[in-house]
Amino acid sequence: MSSVLDTILGASPWVVLGLVGLVVFAEDALFVGFVLPGETAAVLGGVAAHRGHVPLGAVLVVVVAAAVVGDTVGYEVGRRLGPRLLGLRIFDKRRDRLDDAQDFLARRGGSAVLLGRWVAFFRAVMPALAGAARMPYRTFLTWNATGGLLWGTAVVLAGYLAGASYARVEQAIGRGGALVALAVAVLAVLAWRIRRHRKSRGGAGDDAAEDRGRDDTAEDAGRDDAAQQHRP
């Protein structure tokens, strides 16, 4: 394994960047994540940057861009294939996990696109499921870009900080991803509750104003009737 890594890391910088970007892109666009998770390639890019073989900034840009564009292609695949997507043979042995992903998307909506990025299987299928569910593309793009930026930065920096300890980072990235996903989930729930509370308060204020308007109208009508009765 180490000899293979040394061979890859010893290739031309453009080859390293191209390989990393291709794997990250294909994970979500073509379901390659079932065989080779994109985080493996992203960590590899971070290790290459630590060794001075490629610029760290270039790896970050390539990984984030590939993640966002790959998800967009996966979304289009799901939107065009629709229900036929779920019948693909590639999902036969993963039907239970696919059902879990669909349930997660139905419960969380757009935030499932972001949170799903931290789980290898969800990362590979969530964009296509969002497209098949006809999620508005603007909503999908917002969560997709946010998730791609957070995930890509975290995974590449993990590889960079680990340096030569590639194997250790590869084993630990799942736990780190889970912690980040938990933190993001808490923030998302808090934001949702605050927005809902403000909306309910605004609705209550509108109802009260409407009731006051009705009372004023009724009072004015009563005054008009009284004035007409006193006229000769």
Q: What is the pLDDT of residues 110-143, one digit of tens each?
A: 888 998 888 888 888 889 889 888 899 999 999 9
CB 160 within 8 A of CB 46: yes
**Long-range contacts from 23-28, C-beta under 8 angstroms, 24+ separation:** 24/62, 24/63, 24/66, 24/67, 24/70, 24/152, 25/66, 25/67, 25/69, 25/70, 25/73, 26/70, 27/70, 27/123, 27/124, 28/67, 28/70, 28/71, 28/73, 28/74, 28/123, 28/124, 28/127
Give residue 97's pLDDT: 81
Q: Which residue has the tokens 């239970």?
A: 96
Q: Which residue has the tokens 């590979």?
A: 124
Supply the pTM of this predicted model: 0.67
> Which helix (H) or strand (E) element contains residue 117?
none
pLDDT digits (tens, 9 = 90+) for 64-99: 999 999 999 989 988 888 777 777 776 777 778 888
Give residue 182's pLDDT: 41
Mean local confidence (pLDDT), 160-167:
66
